[in-house]
Amino acid sequence: MNSHLINRLDSRQADFQARYARLLQWDSARLQDVEQRVASIIHQVRQEGDTALIRLTQQFDRIQLHPEQLAFSAAEIDTACQQLPEEDMAALQAAAERIRAYHQWQMPNMGIQRYVDATGMQLGQRLTPIERAGLYVPGGLASYPSSVLMNAIPAQVAGVRELVMVVPTPDGSINPLVLAAARVSGVQRIFRVGGAQAVAALAYGTASIPQVDKIVGPGNIYVATAKRQVFGQVGIDMIAGPSEILVIADQESNPEWLAADLLSQAEHDEAAQAILITDSAPLADAVEEQLQRLLHTLSRHAISRIALANRGILITVPDLATACQLASQAAPEHLELSLADPEAALPLIHNAGAIFLGRYTPEAIGDYVAGPNHVLPTSGTARFSSPLGVYDFIKRSSLLGGPLSALRQIGPIASHLANREGLTAHQYSIDCRLESAS
């Protein structure tokens, strides 16, 4: 039995890779009954629209609504903003400004880009924003105004015409910070519905809630399953797993700071993962001592303790190059480089959602106010996917056009390939033009 607060590994142990791989795994198996219940909810909303939404909202959120009450009124949003202390609104505004500035920097050149090739063909692409985006925001205890900013502002910067937000209001309650964040972010319409039924409404539309082109935002297993099931009808951002942090630290790092950073993710969820990799065994010992000390001070200490015991890891390695290799293997959501020279380690890192450079850049600063998006790939998907950004709300259309002279040069090639594929209508659509011009 593990006597430590957190799992301890050494990369030089014979069974290290097997143990490391096992701890990295997250059981994302979807329970069959969840799949079936979500499918039933989606079917009800598709068939009955607002009627199903109202019935399901009463069932799950214990609130009775009429169709005209599904949307928050402008007066309700105004009241929520007026209720907030000035420092709350100021913090939201400051964070929004920084997030907006970063995503404006991220914007590609919109419109048309093209070139003319040697045959005279015009080739290129046109970039345009999607028309309407749906933003899912959790309610109740997991109510994060920062996620409203992070999901809505990139869409607004990208030029999305309409932002539609859904948020559950259990027992009729709503965090006014969430409504204020929506106002600051430019969200036009907010509906007081949540769960799989809200995802279905965004995907298929109802009399009250418009159909969107893409759904973004976090949620529980029912929301995640619903997003998976409606994908194809609409786009989605990603299917997010538990929060993750991996810290690479040298012997000069402050163990209290490192412990605080590990706990900043462990407090999210019992399935969250917090990993420290260091070439200093004394530092690993000191971090474990600080974890034990700090745990008692946390409001979510019980959740944090379970997360550390289940999936937390302190790893000692012979050198920092090995640390970077192990970090890339994990492909973590958040990667901190608590090193004297983090830039030197950067080329050795191949997979990570967000990389925090240096001892004075804790992961939590990225959650709220740094600017880059905090919606990041989890569960190793940073191997092939990226943070949410303006490009998630932009689509590309290819452009191609040319004169007869270009068709005469490349048409016979296409005709030959169409013939070889047995697609005679394809072949004829080219040949008839060439023949009429001869």
Q: Are residues 259 and 229 in the same domain?
A: no
Q: Is residue 391 part of a domain?
A: no
- DSSP letter, residue 109: P
Q: Are residues 117 and 222 in the same domain?
A: yes
Q: Is residue 379 part of a domain?
A: no
Q: Are residues 166 and 133 in the same domain?
A: yes
Q: Is residue 45 part of a domain?
A: yes
3-class SS at 133?
strand
Pick the catalytic residue: 244, 267, 333, 363? 333
Closest C-alpha among 142, 343, 376, 146 to residue 245: 376
For residue 43, give the CATH number of its domain. Answer: 3.40.50.1980
Q: Is residue 270 part of a domain?
A: yes
Q: Is residue 396 part of a domain?
A: no
Q: Is residue 2 part of a domain?
A: no
Q: Are residues 308 and 410 in the same domain?
A: no
Q: Is residue 383 part of a domain?
A: no
Q: Are residues 291 and 346 in the same domain?
A: yes
| pLDDT value, residue 26 | 80
As for how many domains the chain has, the answer is: 3
pLDDT per residue, tens digit, the chain (438 aa), is: 356 799 999 999 999 999 999 999 986 555 678 999 999 999 999 999 999 999 999 999 999 999 999 999 999 999 999 999 999 999 999 999 999 999 999 999 999 999 999 999 999 999 999 999 999 999 865 678 999 999 999 999 999 999 999 999 999 999 999 999 999 999 999 999 999 999 999 999 999 999 999 999 998 889 999 999 999 999 999 998 899 999 999 999 999 999 999 999 999 989 999 999 999 999 999 999 999 999 999 999 999 999 999 999 999 999 999 999 999 999 999 999 999 999 999 999 999 999 999 999 999 999 999 999 999 999 999 999 999 999 999 999 999 999 999 999 999 999 999 999 999 999 999 999 999 987
Q: Are residues 229 and 250 in the same domain?
A: no
Among 219, 236, 253, the domain-final residue is: 236
Residues 6+ apart with CB under 8 A from 49: 201, 206, 207, 208
Place of tokens 């419109």: 111
Q: Are residues 253 and 192 in the same domain?
A: no
Among 172, 201, 236, the domain-final residue is: 236
| pLDDT value, residue 30 | 59
Q: Are residues 326 and 215 in the same domain?
A: no
User: Residue 355's CB: how many other CB atoms inside 10 A?
Assistant: 18
Distance CA 374, CA 357 (A): 15
Closest C-alpha among 6, 8, 23 to residue 380: 23
Contact by Cβ (8 Å): 261, 244: no
Q: Are residues 58 and 202 in the same domain?
A: yes
Among 181, 204, 236, the domain-final residue is: 236
Pick the catalytic residue: 103, 268, 288, 334? 334
Q: Are residues 139 and 183 in the same domain?
A: yes
| pLDDT value, residue 1 | 39
Residues 6+ apart with CB under 8 A from 176: 80, 81, 83, 84
Structure token pair of residue 352:
């990570």
Residue 301 annotated in active site: no
Is the backbone of residue 112 left (phi > 0), alpha (psi -120 to 50) or beta? beta
Q: Are residues 55 and 166 in the same domain?
A: yes
Q: Are residues 349 and 275 in the same domain?
A: yes
Q: Is residue 397 part of a domain?
A: no
76, amino acid identity: E
Domain around 146: 32-236
